[in-house]
């Protein structure tokens, strides 16, 4: 049964067997069963169907914007938040660590990132502990706590207490406690860009929802999904740890550790501050559409990479993320940031998701359409495969409507201030289903895109968000085979408006 998947501690692996049918008319029954089972949420179905997810898309308003000098100190002596101010708590287990540790290795910086992986027991001496990995701590015994969710795993109690045990270590200079799973991949510089927007001396709870509406309906829209990682500021952690053990018993019916934490935070009265760069990745299939249309916000985390198709074709899950990370290392802030440009000479539309993919349409496509994620995936439970907390559009069944796709090939840093990334044509079906219309045959001659961009200034995340602009550099030699694109900030009154 689904509990076998409890090793991914924030999966919420409800298994309704026959209820997993797609048809919307069986959904109410499945819902009622869920509510009766675990009283996870008291959202009525009417509310669910009337619900509009638009309200989730407003970015929060940071309450401080301060200018810092080169040493990260502002005029009033306030020190900018840096990586050493974050204490990571990684929810692991001896059984899963060996397989999952390669996800942590992707982002952990020895002697730079601070934190621990929390295990259920001491690892056997035969399990070598590499210096390149976070140190482990063994969680306290939690057998005295109540846990009564029939489809869940007791390990949720241990996971919920990681924030408390981390706090009780009493480490100095911790501003944020960041909790996640052992298969959460962080992009630490971007996590920092997000956290540095907020005043750590206030009580903040920051993270993201599940992408699948069915998950949010069952497990709540008010909580940060633990697999995507979430942050709790020090003063909030200080209040949380005082009441957490009581909450764990009070919310014994809730499935996950993230839900128990949120239950406790609701007693304090601190709501979730949503940030769209945390990705629980509660989807199945190919995450391409999501990563090719990221919102204008830093990419903070990815999760569930064992449950989706590799983000780069022909690479295993770990090597795919390594490839994404290779771009991130050269320009963290620009990773998967979107830019659109038109080629007025050839009537083309180009959509760049920096460090990941380029799409070429041999006709003009509106910005509105280009920014909408292609649905290359379906929902976690597949109850209604189309219901996400963000807009999607179907991939057209007509090859003459689809984009020609290019995937990241190489990343170079140019002179310290610029980057050059190249993207190679990805031929999913060896050309068998290519459109044979003349505009397409012309476009299909393009083998690669070569994209120049200035390195992204992370201070821009403290300003009003705006997608950056790009232009096609025409007149270059071999421009039929390799198209050159320059990304830059937009000029005043510049817009992506078709002629
Ligand atoms: C981070 O800021 C602290 C001050 O709170 C400072 O002592 C430390 O050197 C900084 N660390 C890094 C890595 O910049
Ligand atoms: C981390 O720091 C310690 C103490 O300074 C040092 O011995 C160790 O080699 C460092 N580890 C890595 C991986 O840099
Ligand atoms: C590129 O082509 C456009 C449209 O024909 C033209 O207006 C522009 O001057 C060209 N730019 C360069 C750099 O050749
Ligand atoms: C581009 O579109 C315009 C207007 O639809 C058309 O007149 C022109 O011939 C097209 N150019 C090319 C190269 O397809």
Same domain, residue pair 275 and 335: no
296 has a pLDDT exceeding 70: yes
pLDDT digits (tens, 9 = 90+) for 133-172: 999 999 999 999 999 999 999 999 999 999 999 999 999 9
Collapsing DSSP to helix, strand or coil, 163 comes out as: helix
Contact 89/116 with Cβ under 8 angstroms? yes
CATH number reported for the structural domain that contains residue 160 in this entry: 3.90.550.50
Q: What is the C-alpha separation between 341 and 484, in angstroms, rounded?
A: 12
Q: Which ligand is nearest to the CA of 109?
A: 2
Same domain, residue pair 275 and 373: no
Residue 405 resides in a domain:
yes
pLDDT digits (tens, 9 = 90+) for 446-480: 999 999 999 999 999 999 999 999 999 976 677 78
Alpha-helix residue ranges (DSSP H) falling in 331-414: 367-370
Same domain, residue pair 264 and 371: no
Pocket of ligand 3 (CB under 6 A): 344-345, 474-475
Residue 118 resides in a domain:
yes
Q: Six-digit token pair at 310?
A: 């590799």
Q: What is the CA radius of gyration of the chain?
A: 23
Atom of ligand 4 nearest to the CA of 347: 1
Q: What is the C-alpha separation between 409 and 424, in angstroms, rounded?
A: 6
Same domain, residue pair 468 and 331: yes
Same domain, residue pair 208 and 91: yes
Q: What is the C-alpha separation between 292 and 406, in angstroms, rounded?
A: 11
Contact 21/201 with Cβ under 8 angstroms? no
The parent domain of residue 255 ranges over 83-280
Atom of ligand 4 nearest to the CA of 346: 13
Q: How many structural domains compose the chain?
A: 2
pLDDT at 382: 85
Same domain, residue pair 443 and 378: yes
Cα–Cα distance list, 460 to 33, 38, 206, 456 (Å): 47, 44, 20, 8
- Sign of the torsion angle spanned by Cα atoms 61, 64, 67, 73: negative
Burial of 381 (0-12, 13-18, 19+ CB in 10 A): buried
Residue 477 resides in a domain:
yes
If you ran DSSP here, which 8-state letter would residue 124 be given? P
Mean pLDDT of 4-23: 31
Residue 310 resides in a domain:
no
Q: What is the C-alpha separation between 476 and 488, in angstroms, rounded?
A: 19
Mean pLDDT of 212-231: 95
Same domain, residue pair 275 and 341: no
Q: Ligand 2 centre and the CA of 97: distance in Å?
A: 22
Q: Ligand 4 centre and the CA of 481: distance in Å?
A: 21
Last residue in a domain, options 246, 280, 314: 280
Q: Of 145, 112, 148, which is closest to residue 131 (Cα–Cα)?
A: 112
By most ligand atoms within 8 Å of CB, the mutation choice from 79, 87, 112, 175 for ligand 1 is 79
| End-to-end C-alpha distance for the chain, whole angstroms | 56
Longest CA span, the chain: 73
pTM given for the model = 0.86
Collapsing DSSP to helix, strand or coil, 302 comes out as: strand
3 has a pLDDT exceeding 90: no
Q: Which ligand is nearest to the CA of 443?
A: 4
Collapsing DSSP to helix, strand or coil, 443 comes out as: helix
pLDDT at 434: 85
Q: Which ligand is nearest to the CA of 364?
A: 4
Last residue in a domain, options 214, 249, 280: 280
């Amino acid at each position: 049964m689904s509990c076998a998947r409890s090793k991914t501690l924030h999966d919420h692996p409800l298994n309704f067997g026959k209820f997993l049918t797609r048809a919307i008319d069986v959904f109410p029954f499945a819902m009622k069963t869920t509510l009766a089972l675990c009283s996870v949420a008291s959202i009525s179905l009417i509310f669910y169907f009337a619900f509009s997810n638009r309200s989730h898309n407003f970015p929060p308003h940071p309450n401080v914007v301060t200018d810092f000098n080169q040493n990260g100190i502002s005029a009033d002596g306030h020190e900018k938040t840096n990586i050493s101010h974050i204490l990571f708590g990684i929810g692991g287990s001896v059984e899963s660590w060996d397989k999952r540790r390669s996800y942590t290795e992707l982002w952990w910086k020895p002697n730079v990132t601070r934190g621990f992986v929390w295990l259920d027991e001491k690892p056997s001496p035969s399990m070598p502990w590499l210096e390149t990995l976070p140190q482990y701590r063994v969680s306290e015994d939690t057998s005295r706590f109540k846990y009564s969710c029939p489809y869940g795993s007791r390990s949720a109690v241990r996971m919920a207490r990681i924030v408390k045990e981390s706090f009780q270590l009493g480490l100095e200079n911790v501003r944020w406690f960041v909790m996640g799973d052992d298969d959460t991949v962080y992009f630490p510089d971007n996590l920092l860009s997000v956290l540095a927007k907020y005043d750590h001396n206030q009580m903040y709870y920051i993270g993201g929802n599940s992408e699948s509406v069915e998950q949010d309906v069952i497990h709540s829209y008010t909580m940060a999904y633990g697999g995507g990682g979430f942050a709790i500021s020090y003063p909030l952690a200080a209040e949380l740890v005082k009441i957490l053990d009581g909450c764990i018993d009070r919310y014994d019916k809730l499935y996950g550790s993230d839900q128990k934490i949120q239950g406790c935070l609701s007693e304090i009265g601190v709501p979730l501050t949503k940030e769209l760069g945390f990705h629980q990745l509660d989807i199945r299939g190919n995450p391409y559409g999501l990563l090719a249309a990221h919102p204008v916000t830093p990419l903070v985390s990815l999760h569930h990479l064992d449950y989706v198709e590799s983000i780069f074709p022909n690479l295993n899950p770990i090597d795919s993320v390594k490839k994404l990370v290779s771009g991130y290392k050269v320009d963290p802030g620009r990773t998967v940031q979107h830019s659109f440009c038109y080629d007025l000479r050839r009537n083309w539309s180009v959509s760049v998701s920096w460090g990941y993919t380029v799409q070429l349409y041999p006709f003009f496509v509106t910005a509105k359409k280009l920014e909408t994620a292609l649905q290359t995936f379906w929902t976690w439970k597949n109850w209604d495969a189309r219901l996400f907390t963000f807009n999607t559009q179907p991939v057209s069944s007509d090859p003459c409507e689809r984009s020609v796709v290019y995937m990241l090939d190489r990343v170079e840093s140019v002179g310290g201030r610029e980057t050059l990334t190249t993207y190679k044509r990805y031929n999913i079906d060896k050309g068998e289903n290519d459109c044979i219309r003349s505009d397409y045959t012309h476009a299909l001659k393009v083998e690669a895109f070569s994209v120049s961009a200035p390195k992204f200034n992370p201070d821009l995340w403290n300003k009003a968000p705006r997608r950056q602009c790009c232009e096609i550099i025409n007149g270059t030699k071999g421009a039929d085979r390799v198209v050159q694109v320059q990304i830059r900030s937009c000029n005043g009154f510049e817009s992506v408006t078709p002629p």
